Amino acid sequence: MKILAITSCPNGIAHTYMAAENLQKAAAKLGIEMKVETQGSIGVENQLTEQEIREADGIIIAADKTVVKDRFVGKKLLVVGVQDGIRRPEELIQRVMKGNVPVYQAESRASEASSQENKPKQNPIYRHLMNGVSYMVPFIVIGGLLIAIALTIGGEKTPGGLVIPDGSFWKTVQDIGSASFTFMIPILAGFIAMSIADRPGLAPGMVGGFIAANGSFYGSEAGAGFIGGIIAGFLAGYVALGIRKMKVGRALQPIMPIIIIPVLSSLIVGLIFVFIIGSPVAQLFEALTGWLAGMQGTSSILLALILGAMISFDMGGPVNKVAFLFGSAMIGEGNYEIMGPIAVAICIPPIGMGLAAMINKRKFAPAEREAGKATFTMGLFGITEGAIPFAAQDPLRVIPSIMAGSMVGSVIAMLGNVGDKVAHGGPIVAILGAVDNVFMFFIAVIVGAAVSVILVSLLKRDIATANPAVAGEETSGNSAAVTEQSTMTTTAAESSASAIANNEPEVSSQAIHIEKLTDIVTMDLINLDLEGTTQDAVIDEMIGALERNGAVSSASGFKQAILDREKESSTGIGMNIAIPHGKSEAVLKPSVVFGVKRSGVDWKSMDGSEAKLIFMIAVPRNSKDNAHLKVLQMLSRKLMDDHFREALLAVTTKEDAYQLLTQVH
């Protein structure tokens, strides 16, 4: 029998490797073949291959953070916390052996991409964009479908469009859908920014996205739409990242990620959007409105082409709104043949993209094909925003394709004298009797959608040769979770620094090469009889050893780094073990102090045990390499060996302790 496993913890350090070690030991004891993939702060290690997953009898995920499960569709999958992997590994394996585990049935979002072991390096801009899009999609689906249901069942035709009576049940349903739509652009911008700058980027990204979506901030009747949201997200992310890399005093370091970075970034992004980006958007809105008003006496075909292009260009943004409001104004003047082509153009992007995704397996990943069903449905109800996820993922191919389809459909509707008496679009208005010349309306929609399907199918690359992200590779808004890709070394490095240095990125200087623990442990850094009776006293005692051996220039400076790390979460990892660690300018050379406190000291460990074996890791702040994280990995794995822990507690001389520590590699 063959079982696979994945382990991961929030910091991606000790517990990740402790769980991996215990699962492997338990599997060996039970005579089970097992491979464990670790998703730690230094990235994905021992990655599971497609063949291994295919041949596995079951998979165990022992993790306290998001692990993408899409590659395990159709496999028996047991999902538990990382502590279960540490404490109950045999029980977990036996559950899989007995078949007492559900089969994972979710549609695969990344299975096709992850099956390619030699994937080209992913464009970071695309990765950030995809992170925002993946979180935005549910809000579009919720809003679009709820509004569509409410309009279909509770909508009434009026000169101002389809209206649901106030106070009715379906008005409440519509309001819930509208509320979901209001989150769409802020979520897109927020998670783009979070992908770039980690959690400090989330708030400024959402603030920037909200401003982008609300033209009232900069004197526009319509917001900047999803294009403005993308601009706001990238702007917020890189502003936050720039502030995060600034050197500040130790007094400010703890409040950088929760106060200084979010506040400054939000203010900068908001001011830039309101006073620099927003004003041109408002002026463009006014200019386009005036331009369209002046075209009423010109060629109807040219006007239809322009309206179709505008409607599909930004799908709910300012350009779309100009065309839509122009058509609505014409209804008030009794001219219904302007709104007719607009009603056709409104539904072609989602219908076209929905059909293209559902029928073209070579161009769209399984998750995109599944999303295409919801997109197509939204198109039937005239909700153009349904196509936004596809446009945001691949704008250079998708937007021209849907613009061409909308332009063709709009022209056919204009030539066919299609009129629309309500300010809405899509087949729903034809079914409700608001459209003149219904036959030509549907001809225009079908032909326009077909043009979009053909063009996008020709322009898009096959998912086997495209950017891995195009194949539906999911990214997490949390940068630590994005380490699913081994190519994302920048994100992994930032996450590593976060675990050691309170969200401070690594800056520069020499690399640290550590093959085994004794490379940075000396006899003088071993204390088999710690005197301190409290956590603080033991920390002072161990830092004193570092200071005496010239490893730190300032005991107080390094202690602050240790305490800052303890504030994030206790480094007492359980089983009578504590691994305090810090990264500081006060550290002159990488070192580890090993101490024994046989009576134990309270370290607020997760399992409530007192710390008896204590390893203090000191790393220079300007270290360039991530090798010091290997120390945490090596220690975590080796300390899962009961005999090794017992031997360490039983040693009586520094020489014996040193010899034991040579086994940590």
SS3 for 529-590 is CCCCCCHHHHHHHHHHHHHHCCCECCHHHHHHHHHHHHHHCCCEEECCEECCEEEECCECCC
Assign 88 to helix, strand or coil: coil
Asked if 464 contacts 367 with a C-beta cutoff of 8 angstroms, the reply is no
Rounded to 5 degrees, φ, ψ at 228 are -65, -35
CA distances to 238, 277, 351 from 270, rounded to whole Å, are: 14, 10, 35
* Integer Cα distance of 51 and 55 in angstroms: 6
Which is the catalytic residue, given 15, 128, 581, 628? 581
**551, HSE (Cβ side, Cα atoms, 13 Å):** 25
- Active site annotation includes 581: yes
* Integer Cα distance of 251 and 231 in angstroms: 33
- Active site annotation includes 9: yes
Structure tokens at 503: 């969200």
Residue type, 531: E
Structure tokens at 484: 């699913």
Beta bridge partners of 601: 611
Long-range Cβ pairs for the range 24-33 (8 Å, 24+)? 25/89, 25/640, 26/89, 26/90, 26/92, 26/93, 27/3, 27/89, 27/93, 29/90, 30/90, 30/93, 30/94, 30/97, 32/1, 32/2, 32/3, 32/93, 32/97, 33/1, 33/2, 33/3
Which is the catalytic residue, given 9, 15, 128, 347? 9
N-to-C CA span, the chain: 30
Q: Give me the active site residues, please.
A: 9, 581
